[in-house]
Structure formats: structure tokens, C-alpha cells
Chains A and B, each alone.
Chain A
């Protein structure tokens, strides 16, 4: 009897946890292990491994006796790291968090139908195929008089056309990614605002609180955890994101982030790709940075408390 029960528990565990575990293993753990192995090989052009080596990492760092650890990052790698930091920080700070929050606050303050309409519009970039979205951006910032920005600048303001590809490439990728990222923040924060009990708003108004006080004292405290979640999740997502950068800017040096560097060295068309082991080494460093950043943010935003069991069960 007891044995049957134990077996059933095992079977149940297998049924319930199996799919998720398999998913985790195949799609998340296995690629990291493959990346780890490939990074220490000489794989290039074909998917064959001839020898195990640390050569790939020598392409990223060079010995320097004066440096703190006895080595320094090579120019292109250092540059990619800096560009990644700028890209992630500004996209996150300006759009994914701040603008997402602003959208959530304003659209929930509006009547339902109007707020819903605005939210739907902001979801459009995310819903449209990435190539279409990128093509629209390419048209918007086209450096000739055909580009939307230049049409507005020359016809409305009478100023000279600008070439954003050349003059502000990082701003272009921050804004293009930000418009998409903001919608996720907006959705999560909107649902968080909606889950605040209505009576708190009524009580606040009865006490004479204005819209700003309500936002500050009732809404914002309820958004702490969703904001932490968005910050952690989106910083990791942005760090490895290259899709829109590649589609809009191509393999331009001016927007060569770490993820783009790994992509151009491995799979990107027509830019000397096919160096799979080198790309894997860059990706491995990106994974390590991702883990460190995630742990730091986890600590800074006190995610442990969010994920902890609630002390009181509210019914």
C-alpha cells in the first residue's frame, strides 16, 4: 500500500515537473553547457572540433603587467562592453522602467476605454513582426529627405536634415528598443495598479488626497516588486538583445554591443562570421556578466522578500 503511494508520488512528480524540467534542461541548461564547451575549442566554419584550447579568450584579453589582474581587455571587446552598458542602462532607465511606469500611471488614470486604447497603441510595436518594425525605423531615420524625421525637421522646423545613423547611433537603438520594452513594463505595472483594492483610493480621496498624493502614497508602494522584477528581467534581456540593433543598424561599429559582437563573429551574414568558438567565448563572458548582474540586482532590489512565503495569509 505504502509502496503504491510512493510510486504514485514519483509518477505525479514526474508528470507535473517533467515538462517544465525538460524545457529548462533542453532550452536553458543545455545551450549554456554547449556554449561552455565550444568556447574552449577551435570550432570555426564547420561544426567540427579539432582541439580544446583557451585561444578564444586570448582574442578578448591581452597581458598587461601594469593592469590590476595582469591583463586588460582588448580594444574592440572593451568597446563592446561599454556600448552594452550604455545601451542597457539608458533603455532600461528611460523606457522600460520610467516610460513604462508613466504609461501605466496615465493610462490607468484615464477612463477605461481611453486607457485601453492607448495601451493597445503602445503594444503595436511589440505585436508587429520585428522586420516590419525595423523597416519602419529605417524609414523614419533615413538620412535623406525621404526620412520621416528629416521631413518633419525640414518642412516643419525649416532646419537642416540630420543623419541619426551617423550622429546618434546609440540613441537610435535605445529608442527603437525602448518603444518595445516600454510596453512590457506598462502591462505589468498596469495589472499591479489594477490589483490595488479600490477602497484605498476612495479612502485617500475622502481624506483629501490629490492625484499626485495618491500616486505617491498608494500606487507607488504597490509597484515596488513589479518594478524590481522589470529591472532584473529587462536588464538581462537587453544585455543579450541584438535583433533590432542588427535589423536597423546592420553590423555598424557604432552600435557593436557584446551580443552584436558575438552574432557578427558567428552567424551574421557577410561580415566575416563563422568563428563559432570565438562567438561562444564572447557569449560565455556575457553569461557570466548576466549572472553577476542578476545576483547584484537581486540583492539590491531585495527580490528575496518578493519570492519569500507570505507571513500572513489574507482571505
Chain B
């Protein structure tokens, strides 16, 4: 397995790419993409059993980016993981291109579901979990959601279903960066205490620092323990993580970085000048 230091380097490269894509295409949601990069890297370079050379293997694990507005992070991670030529990232959000601001199903190999409207990923993942059970396939299902997304009722419909049917192959990660589009997520809706809510719904909930790669890996690597409880990892994160002038500043939900800001950010991430 790749070392934690290597994973940190991969995460830095992905962050650099994400920032460049936001700048080049003039697209928002940069802070939301940066907060979940470490979770993506830990999953894609950790327990997720996928093969970029056989991306539709029926026995594969599934990863669903339910917070589809972080598409740049997903695209950059898939490219880095070998699903497609990283040069394709330069076509992000261009007219007629394959990479829209929210991912489409198999718009590039590795995208398992179309997302963008919140609260859809978990029900889809539960269907995939039922399919794996029915087909006696060993697959696990990973879903990455945002904290604001936990305000959608469909999330809690799914949260009630999964434990009743002991869908313990399912792992949810909540990218708990404490912000949503226009304010603090704990103030707009009563999300806290979030882990306790999931526990009350019958889930095995763990809380981790979502930027501590080793801790995230440890939380992810736990195999189903026979209790039947699906797992949720409430990952405490920082919106805009990795760039000092973006961290925990919700202006970066919508702001587009200037060329100068891209240079500064890449420097902070320890990346060379220009495209990685």
C-alpha cells in the first residue's frame, strides 16, 4: 500500500489541479472540493477495490461522490489514479466537453453515478449494496457526502433503511467542513451532534480528523464486523484545506482564483510552477 507521505503528495497534486481547473474554467465550489481531497485519496488509494484497466468489473467496489459539486476533486483523483489521461482535465467545463461541473454517469471511466442534486448518492449506493447481496458479490460501497447535504430528507430515509437490512458493506463519509453555500451548517440547520444522529439511526459512527490521512485510512479499512451496522465516518474537515488564504473562508464557495492566487496556492502546496 502507498505510504501516508506518498498519499499526502498525491493529495497536494490533486489540490493543485483542482485550483487550476477552477481558475481555467471560472467555476465555483473550490472550497468544497479542497475539503474532501484527503477523503478521496484515502479511499481511492486505500480500501476501494477498483481497477482502472477494468473500470466496469461487476465485482468492483463502488465510490459515489454524492456531493457532486466537488466534481473537480473527483476528476483529478480519477485521472491521478489512472482512469483516464490527465490531459483531459484541461477540457473541464469546456463547450461540448466530457467533464461538466457536476459529474455525469460514466462521463469518464470511474464515475459511478450522476450527482449534483444533493441527497441522491446514498439511496443509489444502498441499491448497489442490495444488488451485491443478491448477486453474492463481495463489493463494498463508499459514499462521500457534504454536511449541508445531510439536510436532505432522502439521506435520512436511506439512513433508516440501511441498518434495518444490515447493509454493512456501506460506508458513508461526511465531509463535515462546517459550511454550506451561504452560512455555517450548524446554524442554518440543527446538524450537530451529527455523529450521534447517525448512531441513533443505527449506524456505527466514527469521528476523525478528515485531513489526518492515517486516521481516515484506519476508519475506512474496517471491514464489516458482522454486527450488520453500516458505517459512517464523520470527518471533521476545513473548507478550502491546503491553501492558507482559502481555509475556513466561505467566500471560496463561489470565488474563482486569479492567476496570481493559483501561483500562490501551488507554492503553498509545495508544487512546481505551472501544471503538475
Interaction A to B: no
